[in-house]
Amino acid sequence: MNIIFTRPLIDSEDFMMNFFSSGHKIIHVPTLSISESNMEPISTEDYSGLIFTSANAVRFLKLKNNNKNIKCFCVGSLTEKSIRLKGFSNTVAASGTVNALKNIIINSKGDLDKLKLAYLCGDIVFYELDKELKKEGFEINKIVNYTSSKITNLNDKNIDLIKKYPPNIALIYSKRSAESFDEIIRKYSLAELMTHCKVMCISKKIEEFLKSKGWRKTEIFSPGEELIRIDQIKNEHY
């Protein structure tokens, strides 16, 4: 199958190799540029836990000390894998949505020695997790440690690849990425080549946005299960 990956290369390289090894054709169309923010290192002694809503927040984490046993609340399995690769072992992962992560944190109240948490995130968030947790009695320090900007340009090589291998699947991991993807397809008049493309996204909110823009073939998936689901689609329809 012909698959478009939209995440930055650093987030997609291993995935793309796995898909390539399984016989899929990969077209890398990054839709966001990620940059580190100026962040003062934080001390884990000040908090009973760290909250991560993306692997990018993990990547740009700066700590004053090295307490690898602090509780780490992760939005999904990919983010959890990222923090565990840094040596943190006391981790828990939600099912891929911030709302599910909120519920896990609330249900962990009794396991925390204090309700002060550091929330590491990007400059653009579509769910005010810090405010929701404050309603539940938590003290949240929201720390923006990376920024994202949309990419709406496509190089000639990728245009040629899309024309030569019309995509069957496009993987979208954020609403902002969905916005960029839609803009790119329209800007370069590629809509006709996307007729049979199923756009797979990680949340209902992203799917609703895509449908509002006229994308008819959409599906919500769980991060970490992309290859399994795409192989199922391949066996069902191709």
- CATH code of 2-31+151-237, in short, is 3.40.50.10090
**Same fold for the pair 2-31+151-237 and 35-148:** yes
DSSP 24-80: -EEEE---EEEEE-----B-GGG-SEEEESSHHHHHT--BSS--TTSEEEESSHHHH
Task: Give the residue extent of every domain in the chain.
Answer: 2-31+151-237, 35-148
Q: Which one has a higher pLDDT value, 238 or 41?
A: 41
Kindly report the CATH class assigned to 35-148: alpha beta
What would the pLDDT profile of 165-191 be if each residue is shown by its tens digit?
999 999 998 889 999 999 999 999 999
Percent of the chain residues topping a pLDDT of 70: 99
Mean pLDDT within 218-228: 83
| Token couple for 212 | 């509002």
Angle at 28 between CA 32 and CA 3, to 5 degrees: 120
Mean pLDDT within 9-32: 84
Mean pLDDT within 207-233: 89
Return mean pLDDT, the chain: 91
For residue 149, pLDDT beyond 80: yes
